Amino acid sequence: MSITVLPLPDDKLKPLPDPDAALPFGQIFTDRMYTHEWTEANGWGDAKIEPYGPLSLDPSTSVFHYAQEFFEGTKAYRRPDGNINLFRTIENCKRFNQSARRAVMPEVDIEHHFEAIRKLVELENRWVPNGAGQSLYIRPTMIATAPRLGLKPGGSYLHFVILSPSGAYFVDGFNPVSVYISDEFVRAVPGGTGSVKMGGNYAAAIYVAQQVYDKGYHQVLYLDGIERKYIEEVGAMNIAFVMNGKHIVTPKLSGSILPGITRKSVLEMAPDLGYTVSEERIDINDIVKGLETGDVTEAFGMGTAAVIAPVDKFGWKGKDLVVGAGGVGPVATNLYTTLTDIQYGRIADPYGWTHTIEVA
């Protein structure tokens, strides 16, 4: 399927962010966006790359009422040679369709979706920043655009992709975050939508995030929705624990955990760095015990936006549990360095995870 690029005169281009100022996460957007409409009558219409701008939607539009939408998050990185790397973006295109199926919304041809992202990034390549920890965050999204209040699938949908030059998700960059373990609220339940990226998952979690933020923590760690005993994940990233400095354990995919691409990458590359890995049903009581005895030496979050986020402290039932020595541990540092070296093309990619866009 072809993609039509609509004209954008040079005098309409926005200025790039000041390279000397801190770059926020997800607040600045580039000059162009990708759009593709689907209707029940005609299926997919013409795919376009057009000037970035507001969408005009009727107030009755489904997405506003029933959160009928899902999204992805992937990144483009500036290489030392000036070219650009996409990191495992094809995996995001596949997961986009898993979300589509769960949301009863139309799937997007995976090769077409990848090409739409590649072409948009290529056109917008001047926006890929090159500061430390900076990248171009890519947000593919699909929304239900039917102007009606009846709750049913069909009607019309819009697939769009927007780009945001971004700095670290956590303002302190690669520094420890504190995490409160909720024994009260859950993020997802078996049979729900936790394993896909539907916006409603995140909307429901804002309340909990605000509560732990008010207690002085950065993030929430959720337990399973039935017994509130088995560790699931953090609001915007998967979680892993390091046992005695050498074994990495992460919750196995329960059906209500998002199958993260960063998580998968860590599981694939950690053995090459000398660590053993396992995916298990992890009882929170075992982790609390391990934190107290010192057997849990590190913990870290894993996600596209968050990259590798070391956890220095867990709040649990009103008490603080310090992780290991309390700072950034060697395993998280090693994983962060190796992963970001591959993403930015500073070292060879032995896994075939990166796709280089030649722009230099």
Q: Which amino acid is at 231?
A: I
Nearer to ligand COI, 234 or 321 (CB): 234
- The torsion defined by the Cα of 64, 66, 68 and 73, in degrees rounded to 10, comes to 70
- Residue from the set 17, 73, 106, 225 that interacts with ligand PLP by CB under 6 A: 73
Residue-wise DSSP of 217-250 = -SEEEEEPTTTS-BEEEETTBEEEEEETTTEEEE
Are 266 and 248 contacting, i.e. CB atoms less than 8 angstroms apart? yes
Position 303 contacts ligand PLP (CB under 6 A):
yes
* CA 112 to each of CA 115, 321, 354: distance values in angstroms, whole numbers, following the listed order: 5, 47, 18
Regarding 199 and contact with ligand PLP (CB under 6 A), the answer is no
One-letter-per-residue 3-state SS of 20-70: CCCCCCCCCCCCEEEEEEEECCCEEEEEEEEECCCCCCCCCEHHHHHCCEE
* Size of residue set near ligand COI by CB under 6 A: 5
Per CB under 6 A, does 304 bind ligand COI?
Answer: yes
Question: Does 208 sit near ligand COI (CB under 6 A)?
Answer: no
Q: Which residue is nearest to ligand PLP (CB)?
A: 260
- Out of 134, 141, 262, 343, the only residue in the binding site for ligand PLP (CB under 6 A) is 262
Residue 303 binds ligand COI (CB under 6 A): yes
- Contact code string over 63-102 relative to ligand COI, x by CB under 6 A: ----------x-----------------------------
CB 300 within 8 A of CB 237: no
* Residue 240 touches which of ligand COI, ligand PLP, none (Cβ within 5-8 Å per kind): none
CB of 25 to ligand PLP, least distance (A): 13
| Rounded Cα gap, residues 120 and 143, in angstroms | 19
Give the bridge partners for 299, in sequence order.
241
Interacting residues with ligand COI (CB under 6 A): 73, 236, 303-305
Binding site for ligand PLP (CB under 6 A): 73, 233, 236-238, 258, 260-263, 302-304
